[in-house]
Structure 1
Amino acid sequence: MVVIDGPAQKKAPPPPNHEQDQEHDQNDQPPAYGTPEGTYRVPVNGENSPLLFPTAGYPNAPQGYSAVRDTGRGVEGGSGGDGGRGREAPWKRFVKAFLVAVVVWMLAMAFVRSLVWSIGGHRGRGAWGDYPIPDGLKVSECLPRDKWETPLRQAQLDVAPPTAPGLARYPAASTTSFELPLSADSLYLLSRGAYSGGSVDVVTSANQKQGSVTVVVTVKYFHEEMRDAVMVCRVERRKGDSGVGIFTPSYMWRGDAVYVETLIVLPEVDRNVSPLHIKNLETDVPNTLHRLHAKTDLITFDKLNIQGSNGLITAVSLGATNARIVTSNAPISGVFNSTGNLSLETSNGAIQVSVKLHNKEASTPNKLSIITSNGPLEANIDLTSSSSPKKGSRDVAQPQYDVETTTSNSRLQTNFWRFPTDAVLRFSGTTSNGLAKAQINAEYQGAFEVQTSNGGATLQHHTQQDPSGRGRKRALKVEREGKTYVQGAVEWVGGRDGGRGKVQMGSVELATSNGEAVLVL
């Protein structure tokens, strides 16, 4: 219905005189054409005449149009048979049109998605889009789509890694495996793509063939098309390396997801002999959690680099010379042993770990870095040593350790339970908007500084007997002290040193803001 309104200013023009028109030849009149039935409003007295004037009063008006009259309560009359019913409000018409448009759009998108999905399923992996394979990576032996197998049972590997929550919702699963040489310079697992997330478990098994590593990849899914979009390949970065790559497209049309479970199975050795030695193990798997079940009495690594994101990392009893453990938006927990350097890093997650640092060479310090943000940090640290002075030297064998623990917006707790005699510790512990507390073994000798910006700085010192049994006395000196800071030094003096050389001192720095700082010596 077309409605043309105008403000009430002028009267409508009188209808033309049809009696004069009747004198004209009837043949000069054009034939009457039928038009769609409809009405429009006739201006009343005092209103402007619209550009389109009404047909009321024309005896030869085309059929299908009729005059209407505004009664003040709606529009009456009209050939549509709707007289006496009020006009529909414009906003209602708009809402109806909008809803119709939305429904049409949704149906069209569903059709397009279904069409693309059908085409993609028949065209193979190339129809999924680009696979984000890193440059310089040699890819070979990718699993054909028809070679997936049913998952291996627990009895075949004699391992039972815990299952991540929520996996039961996937009704189907397929698996494949690769065997890698244990003698490789570097063993690694790599994943890339929008749907490559999942879990990684590192385990040992008595059934695993000696001299080899098995990587078992299990994909959980709803539809086979999603499973077939996952590429699992043997990869190589450089000569002497051996690894497995898991790749999915950068994007997919279908909304379904997959979950990738990876099992790295290492062989077990007799517990009465030395642990199995692995040169280097690396994982680089975004959106993936790690569970490290290999124990330090069975497996040791020269180098270990575990890198995930948006997933926790936990270790039963991990042993390595040098290790770097990294994730984000998730916690890190467990037991870690290192004879070199160890780094534990996350963000927006808690860290609760026990760490053993063993120093083999006094001239080379062990380094420990534990870093998070927006989460509590608790580290229980044992410092041990097998280092000794050089032959003929009167100097003291002083193992050295550089330790850093850092968080923000949460509590920091660092405890040094074991401490070699005459060891040199350089420790820095910082947080913000939370308590900072450190407890140092009585063997510690060196400077200390405790400070906060808005809270109390406290030094707790307890009288101790000489842990080394040499009859030394504990000497504590506080150089500066205030409400928000304490600074000084502590050492062991006198005793039966037997002409020992000069002893190097350590340092302890503990700081926070908007919280209390407490150092226990």
Structure 2
Amino acid sequence: MTNKPGEQSTSSQVAKPPPPYTASPSQPTTQPNYPIIQPYPIQQQPIYVRSGERPCTRFCRAFFVAVVIWLLSGIFIRSFLSLVHWRPHHHHRPGSYAVPSDLTLSACVTGFAWSLEPFSPTSYAAQYPPGHSFLPPSAFPYSSQRTFELPLNNQRGEGNIFLLSRGPMSSGTLDVVVDPEQKKGVASVRVTVRYFREDVRDGAKACLVEREGGVSGVGVFTPEWWYTGPGVDKQLYMEITIVLPSDSADESTPLYIKRFETDLPNTLHRLGDLAKTISFGSITLQGTNAAIQVESVRMDQGSFVTKNGGIQGTFNASTSLELKTSNAPIRVDVGLHSGGGTGDTPFEMSTSNGPIDASIHLIPSTSPSPPHYKIQAHTSNSRLNLKFPPLSLPPPFSPILSLSARTSNAPATVSLYPTYEGRFSLQTTNHGVEVHENKQGGRSKRRVVMQRPGRGAGRGRVEGFVELVGVGHEEEGGKKGGRVDVRSQNALVLLEL
């Protein structure tokens, strides 16, 4: 088809693109939403390497700084622990002596005043690892000693003696013996200090001490918490020996000492066979972390107390007796004398996590009124075994016994003397109770009445009474006799009549 001049074809009008779009001034031009990557030069930064200082020098400098920091930290920590440990609990600065305020010291021995003993190279510190505590005496190669004399006011020995020790290095032993060769009216106290180093020994001090009332004794003191580094060569061992005179070989007239007292922490107490020649009005032994061992002792009243150490031996008392410890056994043979009086004679034994094995002899007098013995025996997590042998006097002079025996998680056994009269009560949990009667235990006839009180008590509880037939008070049903109460938990309770 031929177009006229000046006219455009229809196809040309259709193919012509639209005019370009021009944004209004109020609308910004749209930018691309992707980064425009253009090549550009990268300039490398120079790396400077320090030269002129060798690696060994840098290591030495760092090591020196570390050592200085370590030393300063150690000094700070030691000072801090010293303040924290002592200030809230003590009134003594480190290096001082914890002397009780009521004591007067005299004739003190310290430093070069200790008398030297010959060198004894029986053993050396190298045998024991660092930090080993409570070394035996044979581990110390050197020893020094000093002897003090304490007057026993008169020939009958009516005096007062007491010993005490203070300080962390005052542990050791105490021995009390009788020597016929000992000067009459005088008790000798020999203090022996065993050591590795003389400068450590020089810190120990032994003195004559006196307190209110004119009571004299001997005190051993070591510095409070002065730390000079680890090692067994910083330890001391104190051996104290008291030698008492023997005025007579006749047991009926023993040497009488009015009062004997010790306060010796971390010290083993050992008493020899004193009952034959010595009689104490009052004796008190107090220690910790060590045992009390007694061959025999006679006293009016006595108290033997320790912790973490056993108590064993033969004890005879006429007024009162106390045996106390913890985490250790009590194995004793005890004689309780009524002394002719009608008052009570209390006797107490107590421990924990340790057994009690005791043979208790009741020794009444011929007084018209029977004596009254009050006995307590308590432990835990260990067996309890009490035995009362036959009395030496016939039934009219039989004493009144009040017994309380306790334990837990272990059996409890009580064996009474044949002429016992009174009530009894046995109780346990998760186990049974038993009563065994010995038909051949004595000449007198007995009547035993038992019952299981309470519904549901089952075999875990028994009560009853024992009386002698022909004594004259059978109708009272044991009301005027003694009382025995034995208890345990989770174990058997046994009463032997």
TM over 0.5: yes
Q: Is 1:320 the counterpart of 2:290 in the alignment? A: no
Partner of 1:209: 183
Q: Among 361, 375, 391, which residue is 2:354 paired with?
A: 375
Q: Which amino acid aligns with 2:136?
A: G
Assess if the C-alpha contact under 8 Å between 1:175 and 1:217 holds in 2: yes
Instruction: Provide the residue aligned with 1:309 in structure 2.
Output: 288
Distance in 1 of aligned mates of 2:50 and 2:162: 81
Structure 1: distance between partners of 2:152 and 2:289? 29
Percent pairwise identity = 37
Deviations 1:258-317 (A, max 9, x none): 011100110123313611110000000111110011421111100000001000101001
Inter-partner Cα distance in structure 2 for 1:103 and 1:352: 58
Q: Which has the higher contact order (CA 8 A, sep 6+)?
A: 2
Q: How does 1:86-485 map to 2 (within 5 A)?
A: 101=66, 105=70, 129-151=95-117, 166-183=136-153, 185-254=159-228, 255=230, 256-272=234-250, 274-389=253-368, 397-419=369-391, 420=393, 421=395, 422-464=398-440, 466-467=442-443, 472-480=444-452, 482-485=458-461
Give the letter for the 2:241 counterpart: L
Map Cα deviations across residues 40-78 of structure 1 (whole Å, 9 max, x no partner). xxxxxxxxxxxxx8416xxxxx5648xxxxxxxxxxxxx
Tell me how far 1:169 sits from its aligned partner: 1.1
CA change 1:81–1:105 in 2 (3 A) is closer
- Equivalent position of 1:22 in the other structure: none
Confirm whether residue 488 of structure 1 aligns to residue 488 of structure 2: no
Aligned length: 406
Alignment of 1:34-45 (within 5 A): none
Query: 1:56-108 deviations in whole A, cap 9, x for unaligned?
Result: 6xxxxx5648xxxxxxxxxxxxx9999xxxxxxxxxxxxxx899947973799
In structure 1, the gaps of 5 or more residues are 1-9, 17-52, 57-61, 66-78, 83-96, 114-125, 153-163, 390-396
Residues of 2 paired with 1:132 and 1:261: CA distance?
Answer: 20
The 1:102–1:485 alpha-carbon spacing in structure 2 relative to 1, beyond 3 Å, is farther
1: CA distance, partners of 2:207 / 2:319? 33
Structure-2 change in CA distance of 1:128 and 1:173 (3 Å):
farther
The TM-score normalised by the length of structure 1 is 0.72
The Cα of 1:463 is off from its aligned counterpart by 2.0
Conservation of the 8 A alpha-carbon contact between 1:428 and 1:509 = yes
In the alignment, the residues of structure 1 paired with residue 170 and residue 244 of structure 2 have an alpha-carbon distance, to the nearest angstrom, of 23
SS, match of residue 226 in structure 1: helix
Normalising by structure 2, we get a TM-score of 0.75
Q: Could you list the per-position Cα deviations for residues 429-475 of structure 1 after superposition, in whole angstroms to 9, with x for gaps in the alignment?
A: 100111111100111100000110121111111224654xxxx4311
Aligned-pair CA distance for 1:504: 3.2
The whole-number CA distance in structure 2 between the counterparts of 1:437 and 1:275 is 36
1:136, distance to aligned residue in structure 2 (A)? 1.4
1:55 is aligned to 46
Conserved? CA contact 1:430–1:436, under 8 Å: yes
CA spacing shift, 1:218–1:490, aligned 2, 3 Å:
same
Aligned-partner Cα distance in 2 for 1:433–1:364: 35
Asked if 2 retains the 8 angstrom alpha-carbon contact of 1:220 and 1:258, the reply is yes
In structure 2, the CA distance between the partners of 1:189 and 1:63, relative to structure 1 (3 Å rule), is: closer
Structure 2 gap segments, 5+ residues each: 1-36, 56-61, 79-91, 119-133
**CA–CA distance in structure 2, aligned partners of residues 399 and 81 of structure 1:** 95
Do the aligned residues in 1 keep the contact of 2:151 with 2:159 (CA within 8 Å)?
Answer: no
Alignment deviations for residues 144-201 of structure 1 (CA, whole Å, 9 cap, x no partner): 422211359xxxxxxxxxxx97221111100011100112642100111111111100
Which stretch shifts more, 286-295 or 357-366? 357-366
> Which residue number corresponds to residue 485 of structure 2?
509
Residue aligned with 2:200, SS? helix
Name the amino acid aligned to 1:372: T
Pair 1:171–1:14, CA change in 2 (3 A): farther
- One-letter identity of the residue aligned with 2:170: S
* Greater radius of gyration (CA): 2
CA distance in 2, matches of 1:235, 1:405: 37
Q: 3-state DSSP class of the match of 2:162?
A: strand
Secondary structure, counterpart of 2:408 in structure 1:
coil
Provide the C-alpha distance between the structure 1 equivalents of 2:434 and 2:65, rounded to a whole number of angstroms. 70
Contact 1:174 1:219 in 2 (8 A): yes
Distance 1:355 1:14, change over 3 A: farther
Q: CA deviation at 1:246?
A: 0.7
1:237 is displaced (CA, Å) by: 1.1
Deviations 1:351-371 (A, max 9, x none): 111101111134112111111
Instruction: Name the aligned partner's letter for residue 379 of structure 2.
Output: T
Cα distance, 1:127–1:444 mapped onto 2, change above 3 Å: closer
Structure 1 residues 377, 14: closer, same or farther in 2, change over 3 A? farther
Secondary structure, counterpart of 1:462 in structure 2: coil
Distance 2:93 2:429 in 1: 59
Aligned counterparts of 1:322 and 1:432: Cα–Cα separation in 2: 29
After superposition, the CA RMSD in angstroms is 3.3
CA distance in 2, matches of 1:441, 1:100: 80
Q: Letter of the 1:146 partner, please give it.
A: F
Pick closer, same or farther for the CA change 1:106–1:330 going to 2, 3 Å: farther
Q: What does 1:26-41 correspond to in 2, within 5 Å?
A: none
Equivalent residue letter for 1:244: V
- State the Cα deviation string for residues 233-262 of structure 1 (Å, max 9, x = none): 111111331111111111112241101110
The 8 Å contact of residues 384 and 418 in structure 1, kept in 2 or not, is answered as: no
Partner of 1:117: none
Does the 8 A contact of 1:205 with 1:267 survive in 2? yes
Q: Which amino acid aligns with 1:431?
A: T
| Aligned partner letter, 1:177 | T
Distance 1:326 1:181 in 2: 26
CA distance in 1, matches of 2:74, 2:465: 72
**Is the Cα–Cα contact under 8 Å of residues 176 and 272 in structure 2 kept in the other structure?**
yes
Letter in 2 for 1:190: L
With over 3 angstroms needed to count, the CA separation of the structure-2 counterparts of 1:270 and 1:222, relative to structure 1, is same
